[in-house]
Structure formats: C-alpha cells, structure tokens
Structure 1
C-alpha cells in the first residue's frame, strides 16, 4: 500500500495542470406550481409522473412560503399594509389542511457513467413527503424547519431526462393560538420552527406560520466521490495589529467525503493556497463516508480579517478537491474563509465577558436581528443591503435572536464582507419555553421547559446547521437561546459534545443574558430597558455590563409611514392619549414627553419630523453612554433591535422597505471608532479611541453657537489618546449658562489630526434653560444651495452649501428620487444624513445606489428643519 501512495503522489504532482471537471450545481428556483391538498385527489406517485396535468394549479414561489405564493397570485392582500393581516385566515382557526400544499417542478437531468445526482433542500417548513417520477424519495417523512435534506436520486431519474418532482409540505403539527402573547399561547415552540410566527410584541401573527419550501432547492452532480461539509479553522497566535507585516498563521482543514458508488475509490483530498499544495491520501470503500483531516498549512504573511472599525476584511478562496490516481477531479468544493482567531476572557473589573480578535480586545457595539423578512422572502441583495446598513452604523456585531432561524449562508457572506461579528442563538426563547409565569400560555412552565417535543431532532438539526455556517469568519459566538437555555438533555450534548467536535473554536453562551456573559448584580432579567429614555440616563445609570438587549423607539419619517399606514390613519400620536388603531396594530412605542419640547405635533408629518430629532439623539446618546464607560462599566452593548422584518413602528434604524431614518445616523455618529463627544451630565468633552494605536498630536476643539448660528465661544487643545480607551478633556458647561443661550445653543465638537483634517465631528443642539427647544421652534428659514453630481455609475456626490451671514441650516435629510415614479430609490446608502450646515460652510455627502437603477432618471431631494424641501437635477 505504501508503494501505491508513493506512485499516486508522483502522478498527482505531474498532473496538477490537467483540466478540472468541476462539480455542477444549480437551483430549482422557477417553474414551480402548487395546489392545496384538498383540491388534489391524486397521490404523490401519480402527481410526480410527467404526464399528470397541473395546468389549473397556481404558479408557486420557491423558495418561498405558501402565504408568499398566495400574495403573489393576489389571493390575499398585503399583510404588511394597514390592517390587512386581519383579513387573512389564520391556520389556528382554519386547521392545518388549509395551508398544506403540493408543490411540483419539472426539470431536465440525466446521469452518465459514474455521475451521481443529488437533490438538496436547504429548508422546508415543516414536514415533507417527496416524490420523483412516480417513486417515493424519502422513505420517512422529513420533519423540522432547521434541517437540510439530501437525497441521491440517480436511480430515480428518467432515461430521457424529463423528470417531475412533487413535494407535499405540511405546516407545523402545533401552530399555536395567536392570542396576543409572545409566541401566542406558546405551543408553537412544541415543534422546531419559527416561534415569532404566532405573534410577538413587535409583529402580528404570520397566518401560515411560514409553511413552505422556504429555502433553496438544488441539484448537484458529482462523480464517484462527494465532498461535503468542509471545515476550516484558522489559528492566529499572539497579539496582532491590523497593519504591517504579519507572522505566520495556521490553516487547519478537513472535510467529509463519501463514496456512493459500488467500487473502491482511491485518491487525494487536496487544496492549493499561496503556491503550496496541501493533500491527504484517501481510500473509500463502496458506500463509505468519512471525515478526512488534511495536514496543517503554515501561511506566511497572512492577510488578517478584522471586525468593522478595527481593520480590513480580506477573504481567501480555495477549492477542496478529490483527485483520483489519473489526476481527474472527481469532486470540487469551493471554500471561502477569513483568517482570524476569536478568544474570550473574563473581565473581572466589569464582571462580564470580553471579546478578543487576533489577540486584541474588541468593544462590542451590536444590533439585534430577528430575520430579514417575516415571510422569508430572502435575497442576496437584501441581505447585503441590511448588513451594509449595520456596517454604516459603525457597529461590529449582529445578534441573531433565538425565536427565528439559523441565518442563511448569504447573510453570513455579507457579514464576512462588511466585518460584522455574529452572535448566533439556537431556536429557543424564554417567552415560549417557560422562563416566566404567563397567563396567556396554554401550558405551565414545567411543561414548556421541555419544548420542543422531539429533542433528538433538535440535536440533529443543530449539528447540521453548525456545519452549514461554521466556516464564516464573522460567526463569533454560539448561544443556547434567547433568555433561556434549551432543556438539559439538549444543552449538555450541544455544549459538551456537538459544538466541540464540529466547531471547537467559538465560545458558547448558555443563554443570551447568562451570568457567564454578563454578571447580573442589578436584578431583573439581565437586559433592557426597551423604552425611550432621558439621554442623560445612558451616562448616569449603570446597567448590565454586557447588555444583550437595550433599545428604544424607531419610527420612520413621513414617507416611510405612508408606505403602510392608510391616509385616514395618519394621525399624530399625542402623549397620554390612545393611539390610532393602525399605529397600535403595528406596535407603536410611545415617545412620551420627548416630542413635546420641540412643540406639540401638529399632524403626522410634523410628528415624524420631530421624531427623527428624538431618534438621532436617543441612539447617539445610547452608544456614547456605553462607550464613555468602556472597560469600566461595560465590555459591550447590543441594541434591541436594529431592523424590522415587518412594518412595525419600533426598534429599527431603517424600515422594512430599506429606507433609513435618523436612528441610523445618530447611532453611526455615536459609534464612531474614533469619536469626540460630550457627557450631558457635566458637559465634559471626551474622546473615545477604539483602535489599537495611540493617536498623537490630535486637536480637541469645542465651539458654541447661538440660535442664529453665530459662533460665541471656542476652546481647543492638543492631546494624546491611547489605544482602546476613553479620555476626558475639558468641560463647557459654564459657558452654556450664559444668558445668550437661554433659548438653546449648538455645541460643535471637532477632533483634528496633525494634518488638520477632521477625524471626528459631532454637533449637539441644546435646549433652553427651561428644558424646551424654544430656539429651534423659532429658527429663521435658511436656504441651502444643493449641487448633485454623478461621479461614476452608482455614486452621487451631493454638496450642501450655506451662505455666510445666513442662519444654521438645521437637520437636513437627503433622499434619492426616481423621477419617473416620484418615489425614493431604495436602498440608498449615504455617507451621512440628517446633517446641519453652519453659515459659510459646505458639506459633501456621498450617495450610493444599486446597480439596477443605473438607467433610471433621478433627482436628489433635500428637506430640513428650517430649509424647506427642494429637488435638484443630477449633473
């Protein structure tokens, strides 16, 4: 045998340049039809025969849910608009058969020679029976939303290549009563599905409970070997900097390989990187499947992957190949990864976990994520846009909440690209799974603590999903569940066997606010609060040292509201009074007294504008308060929540339609990696440096302006700010007590580099001595000069200029308009927004838009607090 492997090695080395026969893989994502089970009298054997007539069936959306298909066929109204969701029948009352559907798809495929054809489902909710060409594919009904399926269909293919696939999809066995509770009556958690679909405090129930073929269906062609579930681990010893030469790192790879043929297969599993060939000899018996570990690679001069705000995000691409003795590639699995190592240490000062990447401590600034779309209408473009928004907020982490899904690889691709670490919960939430006594729940806490019913299925699905996403450098932490652990017979094998064997590189938190993450010495649940707060509270009140959920309001602007609230319901909420029924149905959180200091809202448009001022201040102050106590009180904070998968009126930095609001830009400002800010308690100017290196010879500058935009005070000094620290500079509080500022003032802070370029700029609008924004209410109208130029396709330069001698042009919102429809182009990405321009000043904002709008006629719209609204042509 030894002589055989020596010969095989020689052959491989001499044939490395032979043509590669790459694997073939394609999606079955069009041409599907469906029908309700009550309308179909035939069984799967008949339906899956090519001659069975489906001309009366509906066109189906796959990937997608039954409700998505019904919506696309205009059988139901848009459940995201107004009160339409109430018009759609709920599965709890109709019975499961109402949303049980047959899906059929014809496709052309044959198998030649030693080719093997695989049918793969990446996600079906909830149970499936699969038929192909009159034959049953899965001997046992598949169960579980969070579990992939793969079948070798080679022997079932039609000789002429005309194949008919039929899939019967059943809803979850227990769908839960949508009684207004978190997860309805809680019984939705008896199955392994999305708990939020029975309703939550941020969403109304999804009527079909997301029944359907909700994720990709693919056909893969291999030969006598199938390479699957590859695994890469990167080890980065020592403490690294983001720039400069790097010492070597270790790349450790392995993969499952299987032999579906009836013959013994000998060969090599291999990949090439930086001119080095790494390979391991493999022999596979007929029908055998094994995991193969390759030799470690010492990678010289590696390009390290860093979280957003700390460095770049380079990615490596390799092809993991199985090569036979003749040098023929029998299977080829592409693999992308980033070089980084994640460790965690307990910070005994804060009493919380401290995250480290490549040896450097990272202050966590995160956002909670539920799911991209409540009806599971996912796309690469939407994922990319949403994660990019999180990058633009200067966040470095996204937490995936436990009442939803294991996020898709396409989401992780975007996080890899933009540098967002991911905190991935498994599929449990304390609301359904028994943490609290809850009169809205059908069963008691002891019973609910054992949900889901099938514990073995949970462990099987967990192992499968770990393999699905474990190679992404962005994946940073695993978590047992939202505010609660799984049952012990799930938690123990998951924590102590499955994760160590299948990953072994990431910290596992038992649940999202466990003491091993953040020691709760304050009482309560260990996270929150969730309502609007006085901005000084974020500085004065010490909360949980690594807060997994803390958040507030998030209403969009008037254009956003009009997308889903009927005109008759566009009624401004008033403090202390009942809110309109549609606002209430869409889960509005009151702004309480925070709107009134700007003047009571006259109408919904006025309310929406004033809400943006509150939004900006609220989220800027939140992150500034946490950053101001970095490494003293806190090691991190995760906002609840930063996105909405439904048209809810709370907890969002951009709306469901991907239109931004002021929350995003207030948070972007407060989360800057290098940031100048003012403590509202004592007016002390602080500088936060999240970076790894000292900032020398920087100038700290504080300017105070009256309400007419005239500069009345300035102070500045040079300083040195060390790495990963907060430095106090000087107060400006006494200045603000002068009578000239009795109706308010503007405080403009700047941090300048040695080249006098602005490193950070931050402007606060201050209330008058009575706590009211009287000065803002009485501001004079100021005309902005706006020039827009398209420097290249997809990128527009917008310059806002304010003439000398005019007043401050305050709080200007920029939008990109499709002149053909009059609607905003979404998503659009802005280098900044809700900006103010002082007299004699110009500001340039960059706007990016998607490629699909390249040929669309556009204008730039700008409206502000005291600048009116204007649309300008793009040069």
Structure 2
C-alpha cells in the first residue's frame, strides 16, 4: 500500500495540474495569427472554419505578439546586444500595430450530457472571443490577471470541426518608455504588470506583452462543474520536523456549478491519505454553490516544512462530484502540504517573525520578478529556477508587485523545494505615486489612485486568490510594492475578500510597512542595492525585516558572451574621479559598477580577467550579506530578502544565475553563507561564530580554525569541542591578533570547520583575506596548484567529481566546475552543483555532485578551472 501511495505521488508530480482524469487538454499548438492592420474581416466571419487563413502566420500560444514575431524571425532577439532598439515600440507605433487576431482549429464533439468549457488563464489586455461564427463573451473581457471560463457546448459543430478566433488588444494606455521606473507611469492605469514600460533593471518590452500569454484549455464535465476547491490545514501546537506528529485537521470546500435548468443531487467526495470524506448536496438550477465538507482529522501527519527545516511532504488529494447515478461529473486533483503559517511580533527587533507549524523561521529570502520578461514560462524553467533558490539555502521568495501573481507551476515548484512565498498584488511606489517623480506624466494625487478600474482590480484579486490559495508554499499576501493600494481597494481586499477566501495567511499592507518591520532609521525601509564594504553587512544595523537589500551580479566571461557582441566585450574601467568608462551595451543592460572592488585583486587586464575577478567580489558580497544578517538573528533581525536573485532578461545586475540558467559565484556565496548550520568569521570583531538555522541541537562538534599562507603552509589557531541549540547564533573564539600577524605581508586563507565525531565536515568555510594594505597581493602572485580530478557517473543524470590537491601545493583556489558538451566544450544548462567555486587546501580533496538531465544529443565532460588551476577537461567514467 505504501508503494502505491508513492507511485501516485510520483504520477501526480509529472502530470500538469490542468489534467483532470483525461477530461481536459491544452490548446497549445497549431495557432495562427494576423495583425489587425492586415485583417479587415470581423470575428463572426474569421471564426467560421471555412474562412481562409492561408496568409496568416504561425502563432505562439501561450505567448505574446512579440514572441510570435520572434518565432517568425520578424524581429531580432531583444535580449541580445542592443537589438531591442531595433524593434518598434508600441508607444510610437500606436496600439493597432500590436493588436492581433489569433485563431485555432480543433476537434471536439460533446457526448450526451457532457458540458464543454473553454478556459483562458490569462490574456493581456482585452479581447473578444469567437467560435464557429458566434461571439462567446457576452461581456467585455478585460484585465491581465483574470481567468475566464465559457460554456461552449451549444456552440460546437456537430461534425467536430471547430474554429476559435480571439482578437487581443494591448493595454490602454501603453505608457511612454521614457527611462523612468515604469516609464511615465501610465502603464499602471491598467490592471497589469508595470515593468514592461522599463525599469532600472530592464529595457521596455516593445509590445507590453500583448497576447494570450497563459494557457488555453478545453475541459469536459458532466452537468455539475466542480471548481475552485479550497483546502485549509490546521497544525496546532509547536512541532518538530521529525518523529511522530500529533493530529492535524484538514478542511475542504469547493464551488459546484449546476449548469442545468433542473435541481441536481449528488455527493461531494474527497480522498486524502486513504481516508474518504463525503457530503450529500442538492443544487438549485443554474446556480453556483459553495459546499463545505466535514473536517478530516489526520492522525500522525507528515508535515510540510520550509527548505532547511524539514521535509516537504505532499499528500495527493482527489475531490469529485458524483451525480445521482454515481457517475463522476467533475473532479480535481491536488497535492496538499499539511502545515500552518503563523506570525508574531518580536519586541526586540521590532519586526514580525514567521512561524511554520509553531516554530519560528529566520527568513533568508529572495526577490523575484518573473521567470521570463516576455512571459515564456515552462514547468522545466520554473523547476530549475526554484531549485537554484533551494540550493542557495534560501527559504522564501517574494513576488515583486510590479510583475505578476505567479503561475500555478511556479507554486508547484515552491511546494516541491520548500520555498515560502510572499505574493505582492499589483502596484509599486514608483508608478503609483509614493514619490515626486519628474519622469511621470501625472501628479502624485492622480497616480495614487491608479489603476483606473478599481472594480476590475478587486475582481482580478478574487480570481487569483482562488487560483493559488491551496499551495503550501504561499505564506504571505502583500498589498503592494513600497506603497499601499488605494483605500477602496485595500480595505475590502484585506477585511473581507482575503478573510473570506483565505483567512489563513499573514497580510502586509505594503512591502516595507512598519507592520512588517519598524523602520526606525527612516527612509523607504529598503536597500542599498550595490557593493558594500564586507564589514558593513555585519556592523551596520538596517531594517529589522528588510524587504530589499542586495548587491551586484555580473556573470563570468562565458555568460557575457551569450548576449554581448564581441566588439562590446570591453571591461569597465574604474576611475577614482567618478568618470568610469562603461561600454554602451553594458550600460543598456543595466550594469552596476564594481568600482574599486576589482582593483585589490589587480587591475583587470581584459574583460575575461574582469569577469573572473568579479566572481570573487560576487561570492564575498553575498556570503557576507547573509552571514551579517544571520549574526544578528532575533536580536537585530527576523529576516532579510535579497534584491534580487534572478533576472528575467539579460541584465548585468542582481542575479545569482544568468537568464540562460548558468549560475555565477553569487549563488555559491549564498549557498555557503546561508547554510542551515554554518561557521563564520566576523570581520568587525574578529570573532568566529556559529549560526544554527535548524530545529536540531548540535552537540560534540569539533571547531577547527586554520590559516594557510600563500605557499600552502598550515597554521592551526585552535580546535575545540562545541555545541549549539536550535535557531541560535553564538560567538565562540576571537582570532584577531593571530590573523593580523599571519595576513600582514601577503594575506592568507582562513579555513573554518565544524567536524562531527567521525571527523567529517558538517560546515566548512574558507575566506581569502587581504594584506595589511587591503590588497590581495598574495593572490596576485599565487603559484599554480595542479589538481587531480576524477569524474564518474553514479546514476542516470548524476556525476560525482573528486578534486585532489596534493600535499606541497598551495591552496587550489576558487575552482569553477562546469558540465560541458564533449565536442563543442560549451556548457550544458541548466546543471546543478552541490557546491562550486571551491577551494582545496594542500593534501585534501573535495567531492562535488553534479545533477543534470541526460539527453541523446550531448555527451558530457567536466571542466575545471581555478584562480591558480589551469583549465582541464575530464571524461566521465561510466561503471
């Protein structure tokens, strides 16, 4: 029986959630399109199957006008170089230029008693829908964040040959992309995303993402349509993540739509963990009824925990409506994480702290825009990006308010990997009037009331809440980015809509609100966003729950080559007078200056050398950021959220991996600095500290502190048994005087370890420290360290790589591993490394696990290259 349960979970994880017992399918191929400027006929004519589409082009659906134009090679890749400037902007062309017809022929004949539904999960911005010569939508279909479902049973042809035609109009207004945040701000008059008019991290999206941007499905039900199920789990008390659990409670409700003119009777039934809960119902004609089922007590539940604190167990749930004849009229399949989110005020930090299943969780968070700026979403890309966040040892992702309510596939990945989610609604301080801004078209008083249609905003919010409320990862609702929503939106959203439709999660009125974090230092409550002195992360007290703080993120040379033309691969030149030289393409892609941070490693000789040294800065910045905040856990801080960890286009700032899913050193600096049990060095008071972000009490750990000079000579400063309780941070040993003497001339490597009783590392952290002048003179002269590398396949899609640095060598410093194609030597992406940018002391070895998706077209090899390690390619041994 246990095997069957595991098998069911595995099957559910591989089946898209729009699948309902083979009753639903997606219309995602075979679409055609034509601009309205070339199509003068009306929808009533176009949607007739005999109407000729011979002059129409293939269309990308789900997609946008721009993704279709790109697929048809009508525009260059807007993410490469300055190609985006070659694409006409809708503000200049007018809205008709990007107003398009989309048409799709499909086969469907309803069976007796069967209802057929046409479902749209997202259209930007307004449209009319036609099927077989008739208009489907009787009322205007407007708003980017709004699902729509139409009963098309009576409109289908008896021969099964059907044509769907949709005309999609862009937002109105489209906004002037004048270089401001959100351009002139008027894009926010729509209930839509705002970044498409440009921001300080992206250039404008020329069509403003006009199109059928999310899934279109055909669904077949019986007379009663079951929709919008709602699952609430209640986990009382303070739980541990292991051992037997006390009972939890599951409450389920669902909407039942009776499509007939007669009363329908039947049974609502759901199955969870082998238990069946039922309720008999009688449904009035042509009505939708919310049905609450009896509560289920789940004995010995397997709970869902955030990453780093426990497992992410998910229970398969099937909920059905059985008609009077016991036939299944409709059903939904869900994966349910049993957990409860709570919050409480920390009077010491003067900020909120988050609890999961009664245990407080220190938030190590990431700010997220969207997976792709042109809305090219796939479950595979979501899975890779969320896994990267798990691998950074983060536990929360905030969805920024100038973008979307994220898609179900995003939340499925967050459920799988244990990332809590803070979901903003659609507003920003920039567009919505928080500040005086000369780039904006309208004054603050006008902008403060954006969007124009408050009713549409609330209707959309209701729909999106229903769409994502069942995901265990969803932890926080947020009214807007850096500003509250207009009062007649905020009040009903907070006090009635969320209370009625959810009522289980923390609601924050805006992202840096005093309700979240008392910003006693004044200002906007977030930032800074660039390079900071390493010591500042430890010593400068910032907001107690900082919603946005971050640094740089340029990738290595291989990453830069993907989107910067060869003639523009020119390293930025830092000038102390502030007149640094930056190539125009770098500037277009929103480069943030590394300024004086490169020079201590030696002035960059070329762009490859610049990118290599930038990785040292990247690693140090993000390790220090999370270590500094963690060092004041529960004292100064209850959490922090990095701005930002990913880019939805080819930007040169704030990213742990590039648009092509190639990680840089930022990711592994965070991976190190955020590890659940972590030993670290405070550069301000020279104290070695340990932070424990788990619920486990660690005893009998051996703390080992060593220094290696540039020749590889080892000096042990101390080793001592230590312990630490759960969710604590502790200072242990001051080492300042010893370090000062050992680093004075050339700098040194500081190695910190926590070993278990078997002498195996459970936390390991190596710092490279400058000389007394603040330069890395020793690194600049570091001798070569020939390392021995072996790679072997240990399972399908898993490679174990062992690097050995023989005794007598210096430290083999800052080694980047890559999985590459054996023939072309190009990197395979995405690939996941258990660690990277690793350093190996002399006489030691390290093993790294590489995970990837095997293909029949690529034979992989492993490449290794370090600061003082010559690049080599290693074949993979297959047992």
Q: TM-score, normalised by structure 1?
A: 0.97
Q: CA deviation at 1:82?
A: 0.3
SS at match of 2:416: helix
The C-alpha deviation readout for 1:97-131, integer Å capped at 9, x for no partner, is: 00000000000001111100000000000001000
- Aligned match for 2:843, one of 834, 840, 859: 840
Distance 1:352 1:136 in 2: 53
Superposition deviation, residue 684 in structure 1: 0.5
1:97 equivalent in structure 2: 96
Equivalent residue, structure 2, for 1:713: 716
CA distance in 1, matches of 2:741, 2:459: 68
Q: 5+ residue gaps in structure 1? A: 1-19
Partners of 1:378 and 1:245 in 2: CA distance? 39
Alignment match, 2:794: 791
1:34 corresponding residue in structure 2: 33
Task: Look up the match of 1:600.
Answer: 603
How far off is 1:730 after superposition?
0.4
Query: 1:360-394, CA deviations, whole angstroms, 9 ceiling, x for partnerless residues?
Result: 00000000000000000000000000000000000
Could you tell me how far apart the structure 1 residues matched to 2:225 and 2:291 are? 12
- 8 Å CA contact 2:709–2:749 kept in 1: the answer is yes
Paired position in structure 1 for 2:15? none
Q: How does 1:373-392 map to 2 (within 5 A)?
A: 373-392=372-391
Which residue does the alignment assign to 2:673? 670
Cα separation, 2, equivalents of 1:735 and 1:705: 12
* Residue matched to 1:17: none
Equivalent residue, structure 1, for 2:563: 564
Secondary structure of the corresponding residue to residue 564 of structure 2: coil
Q: Does 1:634 align with 2:633?
A: no
Question: What's the CA shift for 1:253?
Answer: 0.3
> C-alpha separation between the residues in 1 aligned to 2:732 and 2:50?
80
Matched, 1:344 2:343: yes
Name the counterpart of 2:484.
485
Q: Which residue of 2 aligns with 1:653?
A: 656
Gaps of 5+ in 2: 1-18
Structure 2 match to 1:68:
67
1:21 Cα deviation after fit: 10
2:820 aligned partner: 817
Q: Deviations over 1:454-478 (max 9, x none)?
A: 0000000000000000000000000
- Structure 1 residue corresponding to 2:785, chosen from 782, 785, 804: 782
2 CA distance for matches of 1:825 and 1:289? 50
After TM superposition, give the deviation of residue 41 of structure 1 in Å: 1.7
Helix, strand or coil for the counterpart of 2:62?
A: coil
Cα shift readout 1:646-671 (whole Å, capped 9, x = no counterpart) = 10000000000000000000000000
- Secondary structure of 2:426 counterpart: coil
Counterpart Cα distance in 2 of 1:483 and 1:399: 13
Indicate conservation of the 8 Å contact 1:36/1:98, yes or no. Answer: yes
Matches within 5 A, 1:355-374: 355-374=354-373
The residue correspondences of 1:741-820 to structure 2 (distance < 5 A) are 741-820=744-823
In 2: Cα distance, 1:613 partner to 1:351 partner: 35
In 2, distance between residues paired with 1:488 and 1:554? 38
| Cα offsets for 1:596-617 (capped at 9, x unmatched) | 0000111100000000000000
* Contact 1:352 1:518 (C-alpha < 8 Å) held by counterparts: yes
1:622 aligns with 625
3-state SS of 2:534 partner? coil
Asked if the contact 1:307–1:420 (Cα under 8 Å) also holds between the matched residues in 2, the reply is: yes
Query: Any idea what SS the aligned residue of 2:428 has?
Result: coil
Aligned to 1:387, what secondary structure does the other structure show?
A: helix
What SS does the aligned partner of 2:97 have?
Answer: helix
**Equivalent-residue separation in structure 2 for 1:298 and 1:828 (angstroms):** 41
Deviation at 1:693, TM superposition (A): 2.7
2:868 aligns to what?
866
After the TM superposition, which residues 99-114 of structure 1 pair with which residues of structure 2 at under 5 Å, given as runs? Answer: 99-114=98-113
Q: Return 329-338 or 127-136, whichever deviates more.
A: 329-338
* TM-score, normalised by the number of residues in structure 2: 0.96
In the alignment, structure 1 residue 132 sits paired with structure 2 residue 131: yes
Report what 1:321 is aligned to.
320
Deviates more, 1:294-303 or 1:784-793: 784-793
**Secondary structure of the corresponding residue to residue 640 of structure 2:** strand
CA contact (8 A) 1:23 1:222 kept: no
1:21·1:328 contact (CA, 8 Å) conserved in 2? Answer: no
**What do the CA deviations read for 1:236-282 (whole angstroms, capped 9, x no partner)?**
00000000010000000000001112222101101122332211111
Q: Tell me, in whole angstroms, the C-alpha distance in 2 between the residues paired with 1:682 and 1:152.
A: 68
Distance in 2, Cα, partners of 1:261 & 1:822: 62
Q: How far apart in 1 are the matches of 2:501 and 2:619?
A: 43
- Aligned pairs for 1:283-322 within 5 A: 283-322=282-321
Residue pairs, 1:189-200, within 5 angstroms: 189-200=188-199
Taking a change above 3 Å as real, the CA distance of residues 48 and 821 of structure 1, as seen in their structure-2 partners, is farther
> How far apart, CA to CA, are the structure 1 residues paired with 2:766 and 2:202?
35
- What whole-Å deviation, never above 9, does each CA across 1:800-820 have from its counterpart, x for those lacking one? 111111111110000111124
Count of residues in correspondence between the two structures:
855
**SS of residue matched to 2:871:** strand
- Which of these residues, 576, 579, 584, is aligned with residue 581 of structure 1? 584
Aligned-pair distance for 1:139?
1.4
Give the counterpart of 2:701 among 698, 708, 711: 698
> C-alpha displacement at 1:855, in angstroms?
5.0
Contact 2:622 2:673 in 1 (8 A): yes
- CA deviations on 1:691-723 (whole Å, 9 max, x unpaired) are 123211111110111111110233111112011
2:550 is aligned with 1:548: no
Q: Distance in 1 between matches of 2:642 and 2:275?
A: 44
Native 8 Å contact 2:709 2:742 kept in 1: no
Rounded Cα–Cα distance in structure 2 between residues aligned with 1:90 and 1:114: 49
SS, match of residue 734 in structure 1: helix
Looking at structure 1, the residues matched to 740 and 637 of structure 2 have their Cα atoms a distance apart, in angstroms, of: 32
Per-residue Cα deviation, 1:825-854 (whole angstroms, up to 9, x for no partner):
000100000001111111111111124x25
Q: 1:412 to 1:739 in 2, by over 3 A?
A: closer
Q: What SS does the aligned partner of 2:80 have? A: coil
> Partner residue of 2:242?
243
Query: Which has the larger displacement, 250-259 or 734-743?
Result: 734-743
CA 1:54–1:740 in 2, change beyond 3 Å: closer, same or farther?
closer
Match of 2:14 in 1: none
